[in-house]
Structure 1
Amino acid sequence: MASSYENSMMQWIDKQRLKTEMLAGTFLNLGSAMTAEIAADCDFDWLLIDLEHGSGSWSDLRNLLQACRGSRSAPIVRIRSVDPDAVKFVMDSGAAGVMFPYVSSAEQASQAVASMKYPPAGRRGVAGVIRATDYGRTWKEYFQESNECSLVVVQIETPEAVAEAESIAAVDGVDVLFVGPLDLSVNLGYPGQFDHPEMVAALQRVVAACQKHGKAAGILTKAGLVQQHKDLGFRLMAYGSDSGAVIAGMQQFLNSLRGGTGTDGSKS
């Protein structure tokens, strides 16, 4: 849902679009506000600021969120666990939602929702003068919208989570079941074999659970699998990362120089 206070810094995920469309994102794991700004200027629907595995720290978070301001890219922050104090800091800082890793049960999913929502729907602490409310100027509007508009993303990364996908998807307040494909493939016993039949069956089970309960399925996809994941029914999709883009670009530059070809393939 788009925010009703147009001049606010908040950029929520459009949950109506998420019901029927694929929303495109990428991961930000360098901790760099400049690469975050570049990604936001590229017009992604959403960006994942990775504070679980990424290089950025808590002190980098607000600069990363500021880099997304004024764009249409909704910033989602991945934290390390279902930690209410971390959620409070992330949301007060102006994130549009939180991604929770390694959620394997409905109970954990319910705890994630409770940490995200203001009472009576949850247990998030209330403060007025925070970045998310333009330092108090839009507190009333933010308080009215946050419970409905903030995005709760729980990651499915274990066989246990796949087995419990339907009960997790049934939790009120969970918006997205997001598959972490590398962790899931490792935990299934097929590291990096993303097209293994058991891996595909697990993805199908997650998508089916989401469809049954009116939730969205998400995944970090990769080259060669994008269309397959779209066809399976994933809608919150991310491709690559800022670090991956830098590595690929630098390698291309080096290959062009050493190989005597331009970036367009022409001879120099």
Structure 2
Amino acid sequence: MAERLNGVIRALETGRRIAFTSFIQAEVENAVSFAQSANDGVVFEMEHTPWDIRALREAMQFLLLRQKIAQAGSVACQMTPLVRIPPSGSEMNQWFAKQALDLGAYGIVWPRISTPEEAYNAVSACRYPRLRSAPLYEPAGLRGDAPMPAARYWGVSQQEYYKRADVWPLAPDGEVLVALMIEDTTAIENLEEIVRRVPGIGVLLVGEGDLTQELGCPRQYDNPELLRMMRHVREVAQAHDIPVGHPHVTGQNVERVIEEGYRFLMTFPKRDFSALDQGRALAGR
């Protein structure tokens, strides 16, 4: 296999098979800060922020640290960019994924995937079309052909990009990660059918916040019914060898999260005001 470019997939394939990421907004300051972190990747949060493709492109460029690339002896970006796009699964909007992938994003996080049809659409949108007689035809690709910016961002030729721009783990050498957010009770009910019918799912990411809204206990992450549903997602994912993700990992729960088998860990980016608080206390304010 050629050198792995997607650092999140690399982490999921090696060692303890755990990848670390964080949600960040598509801003230069965030990219500069997180490019120097120990994360395997970042997920640019564009579901709950305006879809600003220029801001995304600029932020992705500031993830590239020439010194780290040179020291690694690899063309790969050392902080793998993924993008959470705006539409819910039921909206079937493929163009958001197409635009993010065409910039060079290494994967897409799809919000609120609830049915096998929505999951199929998500994976299809991240694949190029091929003949029905070709290997690994399903899910049939829908992505349009405009690879030049992405190939340049990855540091490969266009033909090499075509070979590697497929979804993992369906294509073992694929560098594109498709993460489906499981965020409502319909998705919980359909989960076994989703994973059985749709190959190419790279991560199942539990959407705790949306689930608690539907359950009538907003942001109450210790709710017994929520915990039961999260356990169900883990069990189904593990039975099909699909990494399962946790979106709210902190210093208080990280040990438990790892023990429970989560493999795609999203640490919470928190601003540190400890020096300010200490200074105000010393100043008598």
Q: What 5-or-longer segments of structure 1 have no aligned partner?
A: 5-10, 262-268
1:111-260 equivalence runs, <5 A? 111-120=121-130, 121=137, 122-128=141-147, 130-134=148-152, 138-147=157-166, 148-170=174-196, 171-223=198-250, 224-241=252-269, 245-246=270-271, 249=272, 251-260=273-282
Report if aligned partners of 2:109, 2:178 keep a CA contact under 8 Å in 1: yes
Q: In terms of mean alpha carbon deviation, does 50-59 or 224-233 score higher? A: 50-59
Aligned-residue identity in percent? 28
Q: In terms of mean alpha carbon deviation, does 89-98 or 218-227 score higher? A: 218-227
Report the equivalent of 1:12. 6
Distance in 2 separating the partners of 1:176 and 1:160: 18
Report the equivalent of 1:265. none
Aligned residue for 1:186, secondary structure, equals: helix
Structure 1 residues 187 and 2, CA gap change in structure 2 (3 angstroms): farther
Superposition deviation, residue 203 in structure 1? 0.9
Report if aligned partners of 1:77, 1:98 keep a CA contact under 8 Å in 2: yes
Report the equivalent of 2:74. none
Q: In terms of mean alpha carbon deviation, does 60-69 or 220-229 score higher? A: 220-229
Task: Please give the root-mean-square deviation of Cα atoms over the aligned residues, in Å.
Answer: 2.3
Q: 2:277 is matched by which residue type in structure 1? A: N
Aligned residue for 2:210, secondary structure, equals: helix
Aligned residue for 2:268, secondary structure, equals: strand
Report if aligned partners of 1:220, 1:238 keep a CA contact under 8 Å in 2: yes
TM-score (norm 2): 0.80
- Deviations 1:179-232, CA, capped at 9 Å, x for gaps: 121111222222111122211111111111111122110111243222222122
1:88-99 equivalence runs, <5 A? 88-99=98-109
Distance in 2 separating the partners of 1:2 and 1:94: 18
Distance in 2 separating the partners of 1:124 and 1:133: 15
Q: 1:203 is matched by which residue type in structure 2? A: M
Distance in 1 separating the partners of 2:207 and 2:100: 21
Report the equivalent of 2:28. 33
Report the equivalent of 1:76. 82
Report if aligned partners of 2:109, 2:180 keep a CA contact under 8 Å in 1: yes
Higher RCO, 1 vs 2 (CA within 8 Å, ≥6 residues apart): 1
- Size of the aligned set, in residue pairs, is 248
Q: What 5-or-longer segments of structure 2 have no aligned partner?
A: 66-76, 131-136, 167-173
Report the equivalent of 2:120. 110
Report if aligned partners of 2:249, 2:257 keep a CA contact under 8 Å in 1: no
TM-score (norm 1): 0.85
Report the equivalent of 1:7. none
Distance in 1 separating the partners of 2:121 and 2:207: 20
Distance in 2 separating the partners of 1:151 and 1:118: 14
Report the equivalent of 1:42. 37
Report if aligned partners of 2:113, 2:187 keep a CA contact under 8 Å in 1: yes
Q: 1:173 is matched by which residue type in structure 2? A: G
Aligned residue for 1:199, secondary structure, equals: helix
Aligned residue for 1:134, secondary structure, equals: helix
